[in-house]
């Protein structure tokens, strides 16, 4: 995480000016009063002269000028307050917000890593449980010779596995070859089937044509013979023609 760096020069300057302004106490001001008595022995009224009036007006003008300068300075100090707050926002608040965002991201990353570490620990526990069960099974064997026998059997199976693989491969090749032959035989049977259907259709068509021709001849014979014998013979001929 990057170190939080704050630009303090402008902020300190504005703060110092505000402090100096706040320490300036306004001075007391009073307008001198004019004489109210006059004449001999002070028994009469004093009449204000133009000079005295001008003096009082001049005093009032000076005070108004002072108030005006104070107002202008107050406005400038408000500007300094704005500058101080703006500098504080730029140099501190925004940086602080950025740092908080980085802290949030780091916190999320730490949380993710904790979940990952927790999963690894759980997997290790499961692995240890499996190993523990396996060790318990080994401890239950009565003789080490049984373990040696199991090992020898495993070695024998290991040697027989390639032979079994070759046998399976040979059977698969033979099966594929037989499949090709069966497919060829199927094609031949289909071809013979089509030829047989064609021959049967042609024979049926010829028989129908022959039957039509014989029927026509029988009709002529019936007309000529005009007897039941002719009809019987005709029917016999038709039946024979259908059989053929």
Between 148 and 187, where is the model more confident? 187
Model pLDDT, residue 134? 66
What number of H helices and E strands is found in the chain? 5, 2
Model pLDDT, residue 149? 65
Give the whole-angstrom CA distance, residue 82 versus residue 22: 16
Rounded average pLDDT over 149-162? 67
Give the whole-angstrom CA distance, residue 193 versus residue 196: 5
What residue segments make up the domains of the chain, in order of their start?
A: 9-139, 145-243
- Per-residue model confidence as pLDDT tens digits over 220-239: 555 555 555 555 555 655 65
Model pLDDT, residue 2? 44
- Per-residue model confidence as pLDDT tens digits over 10-53: 666 766 776 776 666 666 666 666 666 665 665 667 676 778 77
- Locus of tokens 């505000």: 18
pLDDT band at 83 (very low <50, low <70, confident <90, very high): confident
Nearest to 89 by CA among 9, 195, 194, 11: 11
Identify the weakest region by mean pLDDT among 76-90, 96-110, 171-185.
171-185
Give the whole-angstrom CA distance, residue 88 versus residue 82: 10
pLDDT at 1 over 50: no
Q: Percentage of residues in the chain with pLDDT exceeding 90?
A: 0
Is-contact 238 211, C-beta < 8 A?
yes
Beta-bridge mates of residue 37: 45
How far CA 35 is from CA of 49, 57, 192, 211, in Å, comes to 10, 16, 153, 167
pTM, rounded to two decimals: 0.29
Give the whole-angstrom CA distance, residue 83 versus residue 13: 10
The angle that helices 144-225 and 228-243 make with each other, rounded to 10 degrees, is 150
Give the whole-angstrom CA distance, residue 102 versus residue 105: 5
């Amino acid at each position: 995480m990057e170190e939080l760096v704050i630009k303090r020069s402008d902020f300190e300057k504005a703060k110092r000016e505000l402090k100096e302004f706040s320490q300036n106490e306004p001075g007391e001001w009073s307008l001198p009063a004019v004489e109210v008595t006059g004449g001999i022995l002070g028994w009469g009224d004093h009449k204000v002269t133009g000079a005295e009036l001008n003096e009082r007006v001049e005093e009032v003008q000076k005070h108004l000028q002072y108030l005006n300068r104070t107002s202008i300075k107050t406005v400038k100090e408000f500007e300094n307050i704005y500058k101080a707050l703006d500098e504080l926002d730029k140099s501190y608040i925004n940086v602080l917000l950025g740092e908080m965002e980085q802290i949030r991201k780091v916190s999320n990353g730490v949380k993710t890593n904790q979940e990952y570490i927790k999963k690894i620990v759980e997997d290790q526990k499961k692995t240890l449980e499996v190993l523990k069960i396996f060790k318990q099974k080994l401890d239950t064997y009565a003789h080490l010779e049984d373990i040696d026998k199991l090992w020898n059997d495993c070695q024998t199976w290991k040697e027989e596995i390639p032979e079994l693989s070759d046998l399976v491969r040979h059977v698969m090749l033979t099966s594929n070859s037989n499949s090709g032959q069966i497919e060829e035989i199927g094609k031949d049977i289909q071809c013979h089937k089509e030829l047989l259907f064609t021959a049967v259709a042609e024979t049926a068509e010829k028989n129908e044509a022959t039957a039509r021709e014989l029927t026509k001849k029988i009709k002529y014979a019936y007309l000529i013979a005009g007897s039941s014998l002719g009809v019987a013979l005709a029917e016999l001929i038709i039946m024979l023609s259908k059989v053929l």
